[in-house]
């Protein structure tokens, strides 16, 4: 299967997963709201209800259960949000791969290079970090550490022995 077709297939898979995760995220948002409102209402009823001690304790217990459910829903919602961000990154990575294959540099974002390398005289002279630059062509890193390592390799090349080692 040609690379372009593989990338498109992956993009479709990530888009489909994003739709599913977005639906889960909306449901979890609603559950969080319901749990919070229920906990707050139970707390208000327990405080202002004028009930006997046993009933007040029961209402406070229900309030704590609602608060516990709310905290659990917040935790699950955060996990869903992290999955959504990861799926977006994977989708974008494959879209950028297609842009690279088609050499559509205008559609390809310029990755943020570490500032200490951008202002380096060598980098300025060779235009290493601008649009349609070597950095843009070769950088597919989402992490700051990956971008830093690539920028450092471009600006401060290693000795020949180390380069040979990296290629093995």
Q: Which residues of 5-16 are buried (b: 16+ CB within 10 A; e: fewer)?
A: eebeebbeebee
Question: Can you tell me the distance from the alpha carbon of 149 to that of 89, in angstroms, rounded to the nearest whole number?
Answer: 20
Q: Which two tokens stand for residue 1?
A: 């299967």
Q: Where are the alpha helices (DSSP H) in 3-133?
A: 3-48, 53-102, 115-118, 121-126
pLDDT tens by residue, 83-134? 999 999 899 889 888 888 888 877 777 677 777 777 777 777 777 777 777 7
Residue 146 in this model has a pLDDT that exceeds 90: no
Query: What is the rounded average pLDDT of the residues 8-19?
Result: 96
Average pLDDT over residues 11-28: 97
pLDDT in tens, 51-89: 888 899 999 999 999 999 999 999 999 999 999 999 998
- Closest by Cα among 71, 70, 84, 69 to 18: 84
Tell me if 45 sits within 8 A of 59, measured CB to CB.
Answer: yes
How far is C-alpha 166 from the chain's CA centre?
29
Q: Which residue has the higher pLDDT, 161 or 123?
A: 161
**pTM > 0.85: yes or no:** no
């Amino acid at each position: 299967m040609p690379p372009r077709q593989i990338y498109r297939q992956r993009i479709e898979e990530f888009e489909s997963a994003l739709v599913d995760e977005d639906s889960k995220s909306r449901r979890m948002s609603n559950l969080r709201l319901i749990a919070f409102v229920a906990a707050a209402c139970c707390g208000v009823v327990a405080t202002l209800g004028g009930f006997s001690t046993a009933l007040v304790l029961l209402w406070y217990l229900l309030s704590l259960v609602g608060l516990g459910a709310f905290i659990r829903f917040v935790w699950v919602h955060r996990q869903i949000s992290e999955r959504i961000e990861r799926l977006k990154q994977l989708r974008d990575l494959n879209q950028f791969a297609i842009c690279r294959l088609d050499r559509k540099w205008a559609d390809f974002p310029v990755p943020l290079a570490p500032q200490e390398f951008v202002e380096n005289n060598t980098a300025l002279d060779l235009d290493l970090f601008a649009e349609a630059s070597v950095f843009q062509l070769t950088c597919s890193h989402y992490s700051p550490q990956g971008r830093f390592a690539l920028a450092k390799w471009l600006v401060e090349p290693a000795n020949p022995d180390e380069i040979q080692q990296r290629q093995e």
